[in-house]
Structure 1
Amino acid sequence: MSEIAFKMPKMGESITEGTIINWLVQEGESFEEGDILCEVATDKVDNEIPAPAAGTMRQHKFGPKAVVPVGEVIAILEMSDKSADSTQTNSLPLGEMSEGQRGNSSKEPSIKTKDLPKKKKEVNMRSLPSKENNENVFISPLVDAVARKHHISYEELARITGSGKEGRLRKSDVTNYLNEGRPFQFAQAVAKPSGFQIPDLKFDKGKGKIVEMDRMRQMIADHMVFSATTAPHVTAYVEADLTKMVQWRNANKVAFQKKNNEKLTFTPLFIEAVAKAVKDFPMINSSLDGTNIIVKKDINIGMATALPSGNLIVPVVHNADKKNLLELAVKTNELVGKARDNKLKADDTKGSTFTISNVGTFGSIMGTPIINQPEAAILATGIIKKRAEVIEKPEGDTIEIRSMMYLSLSFDHRIVDGYLAGSFLRRIADNMEQFDFKRKY
């Protein structure tokens, strides 16, 4: 028995290093000639590194995800005397390959010596729930990096036909898929083939200045497309008379700030009204998990907020139903300030169960917001606008100047039906209209 240094092989003229994906033969395990010892990724292709002879794995010099230069020792192998003699006779340093061993394609080098029985590979597999998909897709770090760069989901990756061994997905497969225009980007997983294929439409996108999306804008785009194509959106509308609320705020905002050192905006007032309505209609505060509906015990209200870059983010007021008006004002002002200064932390944007988008801030009368997944609904509040309204009174109708606002609720019709959505939306409006003008802060 003799120990031999197993080196990172050269897998192409321009390749200077490789990333170890995983070891298929662990330390102390024996292997036969042709068994795959490890998988290595380069910037061109994923490769299987075979054993040139039978032996035992003594030591891994590098672990998974390690980037190793070509020629560096990556493992120590113990070879049988017969195997060692055979290797020396071949005059081929262990871990290096001849042109014949590299395969016939310069673009997709194959690192197999010959087709011999191999051990069952123990690799990380991601199972994807669709009969239309390749149900056991191995996502290598190289393919994963390309997918993340182009915001391709694992479900979408599973629809791409792999040209590698046992249908494995290669970088070239993903690149070709991108060049074809991502035909499966908006396809939905179905139990049975529907026969429908997304047409290869060629749009004239015109010419002009090219503005590349920043990372956040790409994430927003992906999130919105996912939500719009996953949840059947329905939008309900009501109109609310906010005259009492507006008058109370105008009468108390200066004193409120002087006493508490906090600005009093409409946001905490809106959150208060919404949180009360959610308590009355808890099914709104839910998410869909397969065929189960998860009704959340906490009421965490997200509020869509603009960043200096123009992108939107949703900081969260946790346990909004348990906070008084001052606490809500303090929290909303804190989150808005953090967003303005780009100082929001991960915990500030996690755990939302229902979202409010104040489109009135931008002067919009109303909006049809897209649901913030995985929530069941989202509320949009329009601009508060004064106008003449007919007011019914016991002594007769009168025309008065009132502060009016439209509310729109987009809801996931898989979870929420029209009756629940309409009742919930009406309750929010009632909470706003029945605002206690004499309340103390």
Structure 2
Amino acid sequence: MSKIELKMPKMGESISEATVLNWLKNEGDTVEQDETVLEVATDKVDSEVPSPCDGVIAKILVEPNTVVNIGDVIAIIEANGEAGAKKTAQKEVAATPSPEKKETNSTTTKKTERYSAADYKALSAGENDGFLSPLILNIAKKENLSIEEVLSINGSGEGGRIRKSDVVSYLKNRQYPLPSRPVQQVSAPKSNYKAPPISFVEGKDRIVEMDRMRQMIADHMVYSKHTSPHVTSYIEVDVTNIVEWRNRVKKEFQQKYNQKLTFTPIFVEAVAKAIQAYPMINVAVDDNKIVVRKDINIGMATALPSGNLIVPVVKNADEKNLLGLAKQVNHLAENARNNSLKPEEIKGSSFTISNVGTFGSLMGTPIINQPEVAILALGIIKKRPEVITMDKGDEIAIRSMMYLSLSFDHRVVDGFLGGSFLRKVGDELEAFDSNREI
């Protein structure tokens, strides 16, 4: 048998590393070509890595929860027959890095070369098992954190383990000069608050472990609330013209373009126009600096079949017409439902919308998708009697109404900007041309 190296595959242009989540095969197990061998994850997307050939898992080189560079060898497979080995070699030619790249991406240990063997021993000797993941060590190296300083961070993970969000929060509030204290003196401060006890009734209640994505969502939401002082503003919008136009043309739109016409591309179009009018809503905060985004990339908060949440991104929304937006929205929604979103399809958002009306909610108070500074929630569209002003005076008419709510980061977005932007979105929706051609 020929020995084939199973390497961490490339998962997007900006992705340089991934975490091994779970091996689905053990050493000695037989695998077929394209059969899933393990599950890996980047910041938000879980992916499956298939076997490049038929054969047997000879050696697993990487343990679960280890961060690995793209292109690193993670397992050895003994391929069945020369034909399988040749076919695998042909498939890997295009993906094989040049010798220069191999030198810079050779092993994951280079990422933590600042720490010696003695340092690792010290890291494993602290409280709460002292466990620091390779990702945490990598961040520590890049930020030039000492071991003492890393271990001084209060961990919010299980058993007090340090998570990425803990390090990010610490770096944001880092105090100078830095305290100098030996490792053995590092201890987490005790809180006077006692969490209320949770009762468990055997035979009635059940415990469900959070999956990795749910843990990441929880960390991201808590981090956002700790980072940004949230303020939420509301307006009510008359979307009668939009509802009547869509009901009239959606069948023709489907037949002509083979695309569903939902409300989402119309909402994205209105938000993109409002961002053009108020570009300071399309920013991120970097310490004391404001990064103003040129590209208008609209994220769509989307529920996955598992119940988790993900945010696929409509890139350059301001450069697309309604048909282009509809195609992109439908494509992203379909990939989300099939759990087949690519890493590049969930990165780079500069503003996010969340259609809480899909679930029947009248309105919502969404949490900002960091590092953005605002998020728009769209409530359910409901018909109700409204007083409208006509040429001959006020009248009561049945109108399709919807609430919009904007949560914004009060560090950089004040009430004037937040309220003006929100009103602009509403004006764009209310001014929709009911005679618009498709």
Which category of TM-score, normalised to the shorter sequence, fits these structures?
Answer: 0.5 to 0.7
Counterpart in the other structure of 2:80: none
Q: 1:246 is paired with a residue of what secondary structure? A: helix
The residue number in structure 1 matching 2:182 is: 167
The alpha carbon displacement at 1:211 in A equals 1.1
Compared CA separation, residues 280 and 212, structure 1 to 2 (3 A): same
Q: Structure 1 210/433 Cα, relative in aligned 2: closer, same or farther at 3 Å?
A: same
CA distance, structure 2, for counterparts of residue 432 and residue 198 of structure 1: 49
CA distance in structure 1 between the aligned counterparts of 2:116 and 2:309, rounded to whole angstroms: 47
Residue 401 to residue 23, structure 1, CA distance change in 2 (3 Å): closer
* TM-score (structure 1 length as normaliser): 0.62
- State the shift of 1:300 in Å: 0.2
Secondary structure of 1:39's counterpart equals helix
Task: State the shift of 1:41 in Å.
Answer: 4.0
Structure 1 residues 114-133: aligned runs within 5 Å:
124=141, 126-127=143-144
Shift of 1:167: 2.6
- Specify every segment of 5 or more residues in structure 2 that has no aligned partner in the other structure, as ranges: 1-65, 67-107, 131-139, 174-179
2:269 counterpart of 1:272: yes
Check conservation: 1:40, 1:46, Cα contact below 8 A.
Answer: no
DSSP 3-state at the match of 1:419: helix
Q: Distance in 2 between matches of 1:25 and 1:238?
A: 54
What per-residue deviation string (whole Å, max 9, x for no partner) do you get for residues 399-434 of structure 1? Answer: 110000000000000010001111110010010001
Q: 1:379–1:409: 8 Å Cα contact kept in structure 2?
A: yes
Check if 1:432 corresponds to 2:426. no
| Structure 1: distance between partners of 2:374 and 2:213 | 23
3-state DSSP of counterpart to 2:387: strand
8 Å CA contact retained: 1:137, 1:168: no
Contact 1:268 1:325 in 2 (8 A): yes
Give matches, 1:372-391, under 5 Å.
372-391=369-388
Aligned position for 1:10: none
- What percentage of residue pairs aligned between the two structures are identical? 54
Query: Distance between the aligned counterparts of 1:145 and 1:388, measured in 2?
Result: 52
User: Do structure 1's residue 153 and structure 2's residue 148 form an aligned pair?
Assistant: no
Report if the CA contact (8 A) 2:236-2:403 is conserved.
Answer: yes
8 Å contact kept, 1:243–1:403: yes
Deviation at 1:345, TM superposition (A): 1.0
Q: Max radius of gyration: which structure?
A: 1
Residue type at the aligned position of 2:197: D
Specify the alignment match of 2:251 in structure 1.
254
Separation in structure 1 between the aligned mates of residue 232 and residue 163 of structure 2, nearest angstrom = 31
**2:410 maps to 1:393:** no
Which residue of 162, 177, 194 maps to 1:201? 194
- Match for residue 343 of structure 2? 346
2:278 corresponds to 1:281: yes
Q: CA deviation at 1:147?
A: 7.8
Q: Which runs of 5+ in 1 are unaligned?
A: 1-18, 27-35, 48-106, 109-122, 160-164, 178-182, 184-196
Distance in 2 between residues matched to 1:309 and 1:323, nearest whole Å: 31
| Offset of residue 216 of structure 1 | 0.5
Query: SS at the partner of 1:428?
Result: helix
Q: How does 1:16-415 map onto structure 2 within 5 Å? A: 38-39=117-118, 41=120, 45=124, 124=141, 126-127=143-144, 136-137=149-150, 153-154=166-167, 167-168=182-183, 198-207=191-200, 208-415=205-412
Contact 1:21/1:41 (<8 A) preserved:
no
CA-to-partner distance for each residue in 1:267-299, whole Å, 9 max, x for gaps?
Answer: 000000000000000000001111111110000
How far the C-alpha of 1:154 sits from its partner, in A, is 1.8
Amino acid in the other structure paired with 1:404: M
Q: What is the aligned-residue RMSD (CA, Å)?
A: 3.7
Considering fraction of residues, name the structure with more helix.
Answer: 2
> Take 1:135 and 1:45, find their aligned partners in 2: how far apart are those partners?
12
Matched with 2:58 is: none
**CA 1:43 to 1:293, structure 2 compared with 1: closer, same or farther past 3 Å?**
closer
Answer yes or no: is the 8 Å Cα contact 2:123–2:147 preserved in 1. Answer: no
Q: After TM superposition, give the deviation of residue 438 of structure 1 in Å.
A: 1.1
Residue 434 of structure 2 is aligned to residue 416 of structure 1 = no
Question: Match for 2:182: what amino acid?
Answer: G
Give yes or no for contact 1:308–1:340 (8 Å, CA) kept in 2.
yes
Does structure 2 retain, via aligned residues, the 8 Å contact 1:138–1:169?
Answer: no
8 Å CA contact retained: 2:112, 2:141:
no
> Following TM superposition, by how much is the alpha carbon of 1:200 offset from its aligned partner in structure 2, in angstroms?
2.6
Deviation of 1:134 (Å): 8.8
Once residues 251 and 38 of structure 1 are traced to their aligned partners in structure 2, the CA distance between those partners, rounded to angstroms, is 70
Equivalent residue for 1:67?
none
* Aligned equivalents of 2:285, 2:301: Cα separation in 1: 22
**How many angstroms apart in 2 are the aligned matches of 1:306 and 1:402?**
29
Question: What are the superposed Cα offsets for residues 289-320 of structure 1, whole Å, 9 maximum, x if unpaired?
Answer: 11111110000000000101001100000000
**Displacement of 1:439 after TM fit?**
1.1
| Aligned amino acid, residue 329 of structure 2 | T
Note closer, same or farther for the CA distance 1:303–1:205 as it changes in structure 2 (3 Å cut).
same
For residues 367 and 169 of structure 1, the distance between their equivalents in structure 2, rounded to whole angstroms, comes to 47
1:187-225 CA-to-partner distances (Å, cap 9, x unmatched) read: xxxxxxxxxx85332312232321111100000000000
CA contact (8 A) 1:273 1:432 kept: yes
Q: Measured at CA, do residues 287 and 155 of structure 1 come closer, stay the same or move farther in structure 2, by a change above 3 Å?
A: closer
CA distance in 2, matches of 1:337, 1:25: 43
Q: How far 1:21 sits from its partner (Å)?
A: 6.9
- For 1:397, what is the secondary structure of its paired residue? strand
For 1:266 and 1:414, the matched residues in 2 are separated by 32
SS of corresponding position for 1:352: coil
Q: Secondary structure at the match of 1:400?
A: strand
